[in-house]
Amino acid sequence: MNKKKIINDPVYGFINIPTELVFDLIEHPYFQRLRYIKQLGMTHLVYPGALHTRFHHALGAMHLMSTAIETLTNKGHYISEEEQEAVIIAILLHDIGHGPFSHALEKNIVQGISHEDISVLLMNRLNKIFDGRLSLALEIFNGTYPKKFLHQLVSSQLDMDRMDYLNRDSFFTGVSEGVISSDRIIKMLNVVDDYVVVEKKGIYSIEKFLIARRLMYWQVYLHKTVVAGEQLLGRILARARELAMRGEKLFSTPALNHFLVNSISKEMFMTEDMHLQTFTCLDDTDIMAAVKVWTGHTDQVLSTLCTSFIHRKLYHVDIMNTIPDEGFVESLRDKAAGKYKISKAETAYFVFTDAISNYAYKLDDGNILILMNNGKTCDITQASDNLNLQALAKPVEKYILCYTKDLV
């Protein structure tokens, strides 16, 4: 069987599957599951085109990694064929641990465990299935391989993951502010002292990359309607789990039911095989099927939340720089209790506060270094004459107040 396939990607055109092992990993059910997990969670409620998947993104990141490897080897940096395949596998599988709707439900399916943790578990399992052929990829992914710059290409502030999702998410949402010059950035990459750097000629492309990242966060990822949709879905799962833990029977697929009726700690998930195996059967379709049926559930809180979700009747969201006034929040909770005939505790499903953060660039967290003409390196914020980059290096935190629109 010919496994050197070509895939037609809407963002980059034709991309290659470089080796037979990479082809076999793409064919594996763990990776095929990513076809049924939306890359941007609830963003399609604002930007109707944002229906692309984690499968798309993983293949795009793989393509960019192949381009980066070619660039670095052409500049004289030795990367063996085994290392090339391993770093491509590491980026291909970097998101394999995502649950339904990507980040939207990360805290609701299994508490205390991140998709990165699950990705490592699945990569370890795949390594056993493929007789240890992923061992090098795991070392690179975990940052334990001696050539540290390979890990940077997989996970850093200028990795192939970020470069692909900015390009891809801007393409499918139609938000042109997110478009970056990934080709030029990759052509400007180099390695100094085992660290990925950007040649000085690429400095303006990096400025655009950081500004695009900031704009995409406010305009897409943290858009208030996207936040409203993700918060609503999260509270639907929280209510369903509360009912299930009380012993109420809820319609759900076997995979979803497993996580509704069991209290699973991080330690249990990491050590008891059945939890991971069940997780690999879970995707967006499990959630949507349940939510549609739950619109008719006898529990008023659950049915109201689900009906609002299906009909896109989302929370009103206020984004502010200060903590919301507690008196106003309490008055909204009182209204909710009266309107929905529910207890004060249950009003937390209809009125609540939270916080959001936007980190465009984190200083001292794997800095983006520019290779100057004199051979020395310095951080992008010092190398650039764009004063806005200094501001981008400071985290922006905002508070949100969410409540159902019929309370005002």
CA atoms of 197 and 193, how far apart (whole Å): 10
Would you say residue 391 lies in a domain?
no
Residues 90 and 184 reside in one and the same domain: yes
Number of Cβ atoms within 10 Å of the Cβ of 133: 17
- Choice among 1-5, 166-170, 398-402 with the minimum mean pLDDT: 1-5
Do 159 and 229 lie in a common domain?
no
Vertex 393: Cα angle to 390 and 399 (nearest 5): 120
Contact between 283 and 33 (Cβ < 8 Å): yes
State the total domains in the chain: 2
Asked whether the predicted pLDDT for residue 395 surpasses 80, the reply is yes
* Whether residues 237 and 155 fall in one domain: no
Q: What is the pLDDT of residues 317-349, one digit of tens each?
A: 999 999 999 999 999 999 999 999 999 999 999
Q: Residue 287: name the closest of 228, 238, 350 by CA.
A: 238
How far is the C-alpha of 174 from the C-alpha of 108, rounded, in Å?
A: 30
- Given 179, 197, 222, the domain boundary residue is 222
Domain of 70? 6-222
The CATH number linked to 125 is 1.10.3210.10
Structure-token pair, residue 36 = 């049924």
Does residue 386 belong to any structural domain of this protein?
Answer: no
- Decide: helix, strand or coil at residue 291: helix
pLDDT tens sequence across 87-125: 999 999 999 999 999 876 777 788 788 889 999 999 999
Length of the chain: 408
pLDDT of res. 20:
96
What's residue 160's pLDDT? 97
The arithmetic mean of pLDDT across residues 26-35, rounded, is: 98
Q: pTM of the predicted model, to two decimals?
A: 0.94
Output 78 or 361, whichever has higher pLDDT: 78
Label residue 179 by pLDDT band (50, 70, 90).
very high
- In-domain check, residue 267: yes
Residue 165 near residue 172, CB atoms below 8 Å? no
Tens digit of each residue's pLDDT (9 = 90 or more) over 272-315: 999 999 999 999 999 999 999 999 999 999 999 999 999 999 99
Cα–Cα dist 124/107, whole Å: 23
Render pLDDT for 198-229 as a digit per residue (tens, 0 to 9): 999 999 999 999 999 999 999 999 999 999 99
Residue corresponding to tokens 């303006």 = 204
Under 8 Å CB-to-CB from 405, ≥6 apart: which residues?
313, 315, 316
Question: Can you give the CATH number for the domain in which 339 is found?
Answer: 1.20.1250.30
| Token duo for residue 265 | 């700690």
200 with 346, same domain: the answer is: no
